[in-house]
Structure 1
Amino acid sequence: MTTKAFSSEVGTGSREENASNKAAAPLLDVAHLTLKIGASGRSVVNDVSFQVFPGEIVGIVGESGSGKTLAARAVMGFIPPAVRLTGGAIRFEGQDVMAMSGKDLRAMRGSRVGMVFQEPMTSLNPSMLIGRQLDEGLELHRKLDAAGRKALILDMLRRVGLRDPEGALDSYPHQFSGGMRQRIMLASVMLLKPALLLADEPTTALDAVVQRDVMELMVDLTQANDTAVLLISHDLGMVARYCSRIVVMCQGDVVEQGSAEDILARPQHPYTRKLLAAMPQRLPARFLPQDQTPIVAVRDLIVDYPGRQGFFRKSAPKRALHGISIDVQPGEVVAVVGGSGSGKTTLGQSIAGLVKPSGGEILFNGKPIAKSDTAYWDYRLNCQMVFQDPYSSLDPRMTIGQLVGEPLRLVEAMSGTQKKARVAEVLAEVGLKDGFADRYPHELSGGQRQRVAIARAIVRRPSFVIADEPVSALDVTVRAQVLELFDDLQKKHGFSCLFISHDLGVVEQVADRVIVMHEGRIVEEGPRDDIFDNPQHDYTKKLLSAVPGLESTGDGGVRLFWRLGEGEAPASA
């Protein structure tokens, strides 16, 4: 593996020196915080203590359910009604947050403490124009006239990288990409120049380049205003890059905290070691014969989306795929990477028959497929898809057994007893035994739902599986479990896979071959090791240089490295 390590730079991206040396008193002091569920009395945050000093970036990491988001929301007084404070205190700028009146809390929120939520599409009002949403906080907390507020908003939108700030004011959230929505959310918070920024998974589901841009933007804005940041994330590489200190939480407890360099290089608690060990690692390359007939071949695939219909005219159609051609060999895992809007998901959905191509053809086992041909149904039955969000792709009214068994309805050769046995067998393969068949999707965790989605995809024993961002929203340990499961099933059943992902660490672990897409075109493809170690195209270099990774040091710790040297991506990229 060709990497450029910089373990001495861990945590230096946030500040040149530890900010705790700059101030005697902490900006935020959380002491022995304990939160419990009212009805059950179960502790969800247990005796948690940490501090944030002015100007520093502190990261909170841990698995889903560790209590990190709830502890951060308590800082703003955003505790759900079912949760009650049973001990401890939160002091911000010397004031007891829990003793504040409603009026004082409203004055603090936004003005002194801001929060960037995990999913901007749900935190931005879909029925309000962007300009009105950005104006709300200024109107409430700043004594400025309308013209003054608009000038500040336009200036901030320019700073966060929007090309047309004036046009953005009259647009709605759905008209922007995920990365642009996150920039707008960051702009709305930073307009008020808060002393403390709470960032809850601010880059989840963003591609590598956009993730880097959003984080660098956040750091630049907070440095300009000397704003402290409490960064909540399961992305250990990002936390290591930007945070000076790290707090590790497990099931409501703080199990370890300290400088980023110490936590990563010399973890003391077994749970911290478990988190670090779960980071994706490159496995030895597999040898697969390349002289076979491809299981799936795509030739000159074109996809056009129709233009938007207006009152007086219709906009021109948008071409999402420009003549894509790929081959997937039997038993091969081909990863497709690229930025948001590059056409990765459109390619997968087109191959799965969910999007109608405008041109080109798809071949299965060397034969063209068409709806009038029996080969089409053979292909559709042998091509299955694992979607990015299993919660929205699984019918909430059906039990897990019904969901997994649904693809077997068209298998006439199997009896009802055989189908039931196959469902039980597959659920056992994905680690869901002991009554899971009778549960509903809402009764399962995110990782368990993803296991159901995988079970549903392989229950027919297909020869080709499309996995669209199957682990993007999972924390590190669950992600490692799902990837290990996927690898075991792929080796056991021998299906080929088109693996769509923006997580380069995951791709580095699972892929045999990598295809790099940019603006609807393939810009580079080749064996995984060639793409990662010797990229040729400028855009591939830009992707690889965007986000650092973590690699094991062999003694329980990890070190931060760049797949390419930081800043080595060509300026033209």
Structure 2
Amino acid sequence: MQKIPHVLDVRGLSLEAGRTGIRILRNISFDVRPGEIVGIVGESGSGKSMAARAVMGLNPPEIRQTAGAINFEGRDVGILAKRDLRALRGARIGMVFQEPMTSLNPSMTIGQQLEEGLRLHVKTTRQDRQDRILQILDQIGLTDPKAALAAMPHHFSGGMRQRIMLASVMLLKPALLIADEPTTALDAVIQRDVLELMVSLTRESNTAVLMISHDLAMVASYSDRVVVMAQGEVVEQGATSQLLAAPRHPYTQKLLSALPRRAAARVIPAASVPRVEVRGLVVDYPGRGGLLRRGAPKRALNGIDLSVQPGEILAVVGGSGSGKTTLGRTIAGLIAPTAGEIRFNGAPVGTARTSDRAYRLNCQMVFQDPYSSLDPRMTIGALVAEALRHTPGLSAQARHARVGEALDEVGLSADFAPRYPHQLSGGQRQRVAIARAIAARPQFVIADEPVSALDVTVRAQVLHLFADLQRRHGFSCLFISHDLAVVEQIADRVVVMAQGRVIEQGSRDAIFDTPREGYTRDLLRAIPTLFPTEQGGVRPGWRLASGA
């Protein structure tokens, strides 16, 4: 049997930070063959992205290669001249980044950006370039490819921008596609659509794929082989199904043990008066337009009815644009409703314009990205203390003690109080955000995608912490997420939203096991799932695969 040559062969690669001498990658080796999908998994800081960027020569100048070789199609990338590297990038090695809005030029039309790569790397006529662009835009599912040529990136949703980014890379039919966290910010249905499209386009061109992700379930479902990295080293690699079914290295076992799993259902008694109740909530956003003419308003929420019981965690799920975040922000008083009513402990509360002090003190919010929601100029102690400014009956000494207590409760000591947000990891920053939310002992917490930016092990720690605090303090929670695996672990009840409406709601087990609506079933079918094996590992699969 003839051995298939490697498209990419990384052997004994080591990288160091020039001034400090810190070892970033230590003697890592892996390879990728034509038409093969190889996944690289590991926690944040494991070196996944650094290894991928080294393949394209995109690491910062202060990062230097101290050992090993990166052979691409038989050439050592590490010794290539800059001119030769530029010829490889795009033409032979393509890269899809995590956030397409930062990798697509906001000042250029889609047509100009797609044509740029062809013009630089392929000798052909303008008409031929246009024909190839229209063909691939049709392949990725754009309803009007010709109109898309003149559109700007901000005219498209996140999922469609990622499709366009994928199209721009695959136009040149590269030998290797590097996908660095390509679907992290996308909801389940769009994530599966984008990944299926990527597989289809790469199979058609026999393109090798190097997929970097902290999402084990996604990598398990789409990769042929997997490489596990920890602290700059490759700790284990092999065929995906075999490695995950019977992991040998303790670090791999640790990653698998951190995957979200359904906890036993809790019985939350229905109170005569819900903690929070929403009746007929409507939110309209003003239409776009010029100085004298404005378009019709866009209805983001259309008659929402729901209630949250005392001590209950109610999860809100749905695709991008379903209205989840708008609902959370409106209930928090950050957006003024167009119509409808919000009631807290049976009493109506004010809007964003006429705030209700008691409700504001008892309603706290945990945002998706703690780095942007924590003031970088304030210390951790000051950030947590800020939440206590209006708490009645607290002296300065009691406030200081409460700050230390809140930090202790989230697993951070009082030693963190004088630090600043940039001195903490992502998981630690999210713990600070949770400490700030619970410091005033609120009765109601809104958590908007609180763990979507965290890797698998840190996410598990934060979820466990959040659930423990909720049981300890008994606050009600509106938990907003597009990650249904996380929702399955933490929620008591689930509300499913689509196009600004509630289309289904019920207990967690009822929604996940016997969904009534087709949209809910589509959401569940889009989730790659890892089922436990007898050897202590997992096997990849899909929910409702039998068509339930």
1:534 matches 2:514: yes
Relative to structure 2, which stretch is displaced further, 36-45 or 298-307?
Answer: 36-45
Aligned to 2:208: 228
Aligned to 1:10: none
SS of 2:235 mapped into structure 1: strand
In structure 2, what residue type is equivalent to 1:367?
A
In structure 2, what residue type is equivalent to 1:126?
P
In structure 2, what residue type is equivalent to 1:278?
A
Aligned to 2:531: 551
Alpha-carbon separation, structure 1, partners of 2:519 and 2:306: 19
Superposed CA deviations along residues 244-263 of structure 1, whole A, max 9, x for unmatched, are 10000000000000010111
Aligned with residue 475 of structure 1, among 451, 455, 468: 455
Aligned to 2:399: 419
Alpha-carbon distance change, 402 to 100 in structure 1, aligned in 2, over 3 angstroms: same
Alpha-carbon separation, structure 1, partners of 2:155 and 2:352: 38
Q: CA RMSD in A?
A: 1.5
Shift of 1:168: 1.9
1:341 matches 2:321: yes
CA contact (8 A) 1:277 1:552 kept: no
Aligned to 2:435: 455
Alpha-carbon distance change, 140 to 312 in structure 1, aligned in 2, over 3 angstroms: farther
Alpha-carbon distance change, 375 to 150 in structure 1, aligned in 2, over 3 angstroms: closer
Aligned to 2:117: 137
Superposed CA deviations along residues 14-62 of structure 1, whole A, max 9, x for unmatched, are xxxxxxx874321100000000111111111110000101110000000
Aligned with residue 264 of structure 1, among 244, 247, 251: 244
Q: How does 1:302-321 map to 2 (within 5 A)?
A: 302-310=282-290, 313-321=293-301
Aligned to 1:116: 96
Alpha-carbon separation, structure 2, partners of 1:468 and 1:91: 44
Shift of 1:152: 1.2
In structure 1, what residue type is equivalent to 2:63?
V
Alpha-carbon separation, structure 2, partners of 1:391 and 1:550: 31
SS of 2:124 mapped into structure 1: coil
Alpha-carbon separation, structure 1, partners of 2:352 and 2:289: 32
In structure 1, what residue type is equivalent to 2:155?
Q
Alpha-carbon distance change, 373 to 82 in structure 1, aligned in 2, over 3 angstroms: closer
Task: State the structure with bigger RCO (CA 8 A, min sep 6), 1 or 2.
Answer: 1
Aligned to 1:6: none
Alpha-carbon distance change, 42 to 290 in structure 1, aligned in 2, over 3 angstroms: same
TM-score calculated relative to the size of structure 1: 0.94
In structure 2, what residue type is equivalent to 1:453?
A
Alpha-carbon separation, structure 2, partners of 1:371 and 1:548: 40
CA contact (8 A) 2:99 2:185 kept: no
Alpha-carbon distance change, 440 to 309 in structure 1, aligned in 2, over 3 angstroms: same
Superposed CA deviations along residues 499-557 of structure 1, whole A, max 9, x for unmatched, are 01111110000000000001111110000000000000000010011122113335421
Relative to structure 2, which stretch is displaced further, 156-165 or 249-258?
Answer: 156-165
Alpha-carbon separation, structure 2, partners of 1:141 and 1:464: 56
Alpha-carbon separation, structure 1, partners of 2:262 and 2:511: 13
Alpha-carbon separation, structure 2, partners of 1:463 and 1:363: 13
Q: How does 1:360-439 map to 2 (within 5 A)?
A: 360-370=340-350, 376-433=356-413, 435-439=415-419
1:351 matches 2:323: no
In structure 1, what residue type is equivalent to 2:212?
I
| Percentage identity across paired residues of the two chains | 65
SS of 1:206 mapped into structure 2: coil
Shift of 1:313: 3.0
Aligned with residue 79 of structure 2, among 99, 109, 112: 99
Superposed CA deviations along residues 452-475 of structure 1, whole A, max 9, x for unmatched, are 111111111100001111111111
Provide the aligned length of Structure 1 versus Structure 2. 548
In structure 2, what residue type is equivalent to 1:24?
I
Shift of 1:372: 11
In structure 2, what residue type is equivalent to 1:557?
G
Shift of 1:373: 11
1:27 matches 2:13: no
Aligned to 1:293: 273
TM-score calculated relative to the size of structure 2: 0.98
